[in-house]
Amino acid sequence: MSKKLVKELRFSKDIIFWRDNKNKVHALEAICPHRRADLGLGKIINDCIQCPYHGFLFNGDGDAVLIPSFGKSATINPNYKVKSYKVKEYKNFIFLWYGDDNATDEISWLEGIDDLFSFSTMKAVWNVNYTRAIENQLDVSHLPFVHRTTIGRGKKTIVNGPIVELNGNILNVWVCNEIDKGQKTKKSNEIKKEECTGRLQFIFPNYWQNIISNKLRVMAAFVPENDETTIIYIRVYQKFVRFPIISTLINSIIMRFNKFVLNQDKNVVTSQIPKVSDIYNRELLVQSDAPIILFRKYLHENAKIDKN
């Protein structure tokens, strides 16, 4: 994010972001409390935002520090305040705490992705609720159908388990899919983690990785613009090639492939009804949907989304 004012839609609200002189990111709701003009049309002045309409100046905490019509010497009533959001920059993402102001700002990060990885990022916009987009990345039985020409080659239609574990806000899924030779599908307690061919990890509320190897990961962050639109930031992390120019090239080739794979999902996920998934959906789930069931349960018990 450059040192300009950026306006983004999150959870149906316009939010402005900017960096101060120390490079710290600030986030405020984009509505001026005076006569409700769009602060996204404003200017950054001395690390504050100036409303484009009557010039009220708000600092990074959302407090009005100047009301020009009162003059510089006026004491300002603290009611002249814009809603501010807690934000933290971490791993080249800006994390925003949308709900509970008292929530911890500790960030759990994806296992094994350290700073020795290089990465490239791509953005896709889907007309789906974020719950559907996330569930799709936890769905271990769609691969031989939706991705039969790419990551689902090999007709591994039998889904043993999967083994699913939830620790705090971290969900791990061990994948153990096989070709159907007439054998019986195994339950999660009949397989071992070591026999599994892959692992998915999801961190609530909204990011995920596919642990392909110690040196290659695909991660995704699911960012709700509103109830019907989700931005998916896909990031490829690799550390098998370290030389800068070559690693950039490799990252972009892997990214191109992943973009194609993600696009294979888009139509079918967009077609699902109802648009918002919930624990009470009238879906007839099967054993392989265990990660989705756990995802819904967690969300049902923990999500406190302010719809006002």
Give the interface with ligand FES as residue ranges (CB under 6 A).
Answer: 32, 34-35, 37, 51, 53-54, 56
Nearer to ligand FES, 64 or 164 (CB): 64
Give the closest residue to 235 by CA, choosing from 123, 112, 110.
123
265 binds, among ligand FES, Fe ion, none (CB under 5 to 8 A by kind): Fe ion
**Least distance (Å) between residue 38 CB and ligand FES:** 9
Peptide bond into 162 cis (omega under 30): yes
35 binds, among ligand FES, Fe ion, none (CB under 5 to 8 A by kind): ligand FES
CA-CA distances (angstroms) from residue 283 to 91, 188, 286, 288, 289? 37, 21, 9, 13, 11
Nearer to Fe ion, 127 or 226 (CB): 127
34 binds, among ligand FES, Fe ion, none (CB under 5 to 8 A by kind): ligand FES
* Closest-approach residue to Fe ion (CB): 265
Q: Write phi, then psi, for 193 (nearest 5 degrees).
A: -60, -35
Nearer to ligand FES, 17 or 56 (CB): 56
Nearer to ligand FES, 53 or 233 (CB): 53
Nearer to Fe ion, 60 or 152 (CB): 152
Query: Mapping DSSP to helix (H, G, I), strand (E, B) and coil, where does residue 240 land?
Result: coil
138 binds, among ligand FES, Fe ion, none (CB under 5 to 8 A by kind): none
Nearer to Fe ion, 265 or 289 (CB): 265
Residue 128 and residue 135: Cα distance in Å, rounded? 11
HSE, CB side, 13 Å, CA atoms: give it for residue 27.
18
For residue 203, give every residue at least 6 positions away whose Cβ sits within 8 Å of its Cβ, in sequence order, or none.
Answer: 108, 109, 110, 169, 170, 171
For residue 35, give every residue at least 6 positions away whose Cβ sits within 8 Å of its Cβ, in sequence order, or none.
Answer: 53, 54
**Least distance (Å) between residue 77 CB and ligand FES:** 14
Nearer to ligand FES, 47 or 228 (CB): 47
Cα-based angle 259, 264, 266 (whole degrees, multiple of 5): 95
Q: Are 221 and 233 in contact (CB under 8 A)?
A: yes
**Least distance (Å) between residue 44 CB and ligand FES:** 15
Nearest 10 degrees: Cα torsion 22, 9, 48, 82: -130
32 binds, among Fe ion, ligand FES, none (CB under 5 to 8 A by kind): ligand FES
43 binds, among Fe ion, ligand FES, none (CB under 5 to 8 A by kind): none
* Contacts to Fe ion by CB under 5 A: 265
Q: Write phi, then psi, for 217 (nearest 5 degrees).
A: -135, 145
**Least distance (Å) between residue 119 CB and Fe ion:** 20
**Least distance (Å) between residue 63 CB and Fe ion:** 45
56 binds, among ligand FES, Fe ion, none (CB under 5 to 8 A by kind): ligand FES
